[in-house]
Amino acid sequence: MKSRRILVLFCASVGALFLTPGRRAGAQETPPPASAPTPQAAQQTAPGVSQTLRLTLDDALARARKNSTQFQAAQTDAAIVRQDRYQAGAALLPTVTYNNQAISTSLSKGSLSFIANNAAHEYVSQANVHESIDLVSISSFRRASAASALAKARAEIASRGLVVTVVQDYYAVAAAQLKLGAAKKNGDEGDRFLKLTQDLEKGGEVAHSDVIKAELQMQDRRRQLQEAQLGLLNARLDFAVLIFSDFNDNFELAEDLHASVPLPTLAEVQQRAARDNPDLRAALAAVQQAGHDVTGARAGYLPSLSFDYWYGIDAPQFAVNGANGFSNLGSAAAATVIIPIWNWGATQSRIKQAELRRTQAQRELSLAQRKLLAEIKSLYAEAETALNELSGLSRSAELSAESLRLTTLRYKGGEATVLEVVDAQTTFAQANSAYQDGAVRYRVALANLQTLTGVLTTP
C-alpha cells in the first residue's frame, strides 16, 4: 500500500511537470484562490497526525504521579499498611462465628459411658460470640496506627522527590529549547560574518587569514547547533519517559522558564518545614511505633482475659425440640483468665529487643531534626544565590548580544580585528547558555525547598 501511494504521487508530479509549460518557460502562473480547509479536508490531508499536547507543570506532575513506578510502589505500601491498621482495630472487637458439629461414638463391650461425649450421637449447632481483652492487642493496634503514619510520610517523601525530578526535567527541556534558538542565531551570525569577511577580502580591506578564522568560527557554530539539537532531543525523550505511559513525544511546554517566581522568606520556610516536613514526621512515627513495641513486649507479663457466649443446640438430636418435648435450644457463657508464669526469659528478651529499637529510633529522630535545620539553611541559601545570580546572568546575556553587534559594526568599519569578533561571538554563546542554566538552577532550588515545606511555588 505504501509503495503504491509513492508511485501515484510520483506519477502525479511528473504529469504536472509536463502539463504546465508556463512553469518550464519561467512564466508566472495565477495561483488558485485560497480558501479555509474544512475539518474533513484537514483530516483527509493529514491522516494519523496527532494534536500537539500543551503541558503545564501541574499537568506534568499529575502524569508523573500516575506513571512513576517508585511513587506508585510507595502509595501501595501505604495502602497496605492502612489495611494492617484496620485489621488490628478489628481484632479488638468481638467476633461472631457459627459452629456445626456431629459426633458419633459407640460403647465398648461392658462400658456404661461415652468417652468425652454426652450420647452416642451428639449434635452441636451454636453461635459463638468471642471477645479477648489484653494489652498486647491494644499495643498492636497503636503500633499499626504509627506504622500507617510512617508509611504515609514515606509516600509523601517519594512524592516530593518525584516533584524535584519533574521540575528539573521540565525546565531542562525549556532551557534546551532556548539554547537551540540561541545556537541557531549564533549559526546565522557565523554565516553572515563569513560572508562579510569574504566581501571585505574581495575589496582588499582584510587579509585572507580573516576569512579562514571566520570559516573556522562558522564550522564551530554549526557543531554547537548540532549539539544543541541533540541536547533538546535527549531532554525531551527523558521527560517523555518520565510522564507518559505510552511514550508520547508530541508535546510542548506551557510554562515560561524566565517567568518571575518569588522566593518565600526564610521565616516562612522554617515555619512550614517544622509543620509539614515528611522526613521529620516519618522519624517521629518510627519512634512512636518503637514505643508501642516496648509496651506490647511488656504486656507479656500481664494476664489476658477472654469471654465466650454460646447459643444453640448441643443434643442427641439435630432439632430445636428433643424427643421428650423439651427444647434443645440453650445458651452458655465462659470467662477465661490466662496468667503467664514462666517462659524461660523470652518476655524479658523481647522487651530488651524492643527497647534497643526504640533507642535507635530516637537517635534517628534527633538526626532528622538536625538535618532539617541544616537543609533549611543550605537549600534556602542555594535558592537565594541562584535568584541573585539570575539577574546578573540576564544582564550579561543582554550585554554580550550588544557587544557582538557593536564589535561586528566596528569590524565593518575597520576598527576591530577578527579575533575581537570571534571573542564576542563566543562570549554571547556562553552568556546565553549560562543564563538558561541559571534559570533552571533557580527552579530546581525552589523544588528542593518544596521537599522541606510541602509548598511548590509555580507561576
Residues 57-93+135-298+358-453: name the CATH superfamily.
Outer membrane efflux proteins (OEP) (1.20.1600.10)
Residue 434 buriedness (CB in 10 A; 0-12 / 13-18 / 19+): middle
Distance between start and end Cα atoms, the chain: 49
Which of 57, 171, 153 shows the shortest CA–CA distance to 454?
153
Q: Dihedral angle at the C-alpha atoms of 353, 357, 359, 360, nearest 10 degrees?
A: 140
Report if pTM > 0.75. no
Show me where the domains of the chain are located: 57-93+135-298+358-453, 96-106+116-133+303-339
Closest among 284, 36, 1 to 153, alpha carbons compared: 284
Q: Burial-class residue 436 by CB neighbours within 10 Å (0-12, 13-18, 19+).
A: buried
Digit-by-digit pLDDT tens for the chain (459 residues) are 434 444 334 344 434 433 333 333 333 333 444 333 444 443 444 444 568 889 998 899 889 988 888 888 888 999 999 999 999 999 889 999 998 888 777 666 555 555 556 667 788 889 999 999 888 888 889 999 999 999 988 888 888 888 889 999 999 999 999 999 989 988 898 898 889 999 888 888 888 988 998 899 899 989 999 999 999 999 999 999 999 988 788 899 998 888 888 888 888 888 888 887 888 888 999 999 999 999 999 988 999 999 999 999 888 878 888 777 788 888 999 999 999 999 899 999 999 999 999 999 999 999 988 988 898 899 899 999 999 999 899 999 999 999 999 999 999 888 889 899 999 999 999 999 999 999 999 999 988 887 787 655 433
* Phi-psi domain of 139 (left: phi exceeds 0; alpha: psi -120 through 50; beta: other): alpha
Cell numbers standing for residue 161 = 522527590
**Relative orientation angle of helices 208-243 and 57-67, to the nearest 10 degrees:** 50
In the numeric block, which cell numbers belong to residue 340? 503467664
Decide if 315 contacts 321 (C-beta within 8 A). no
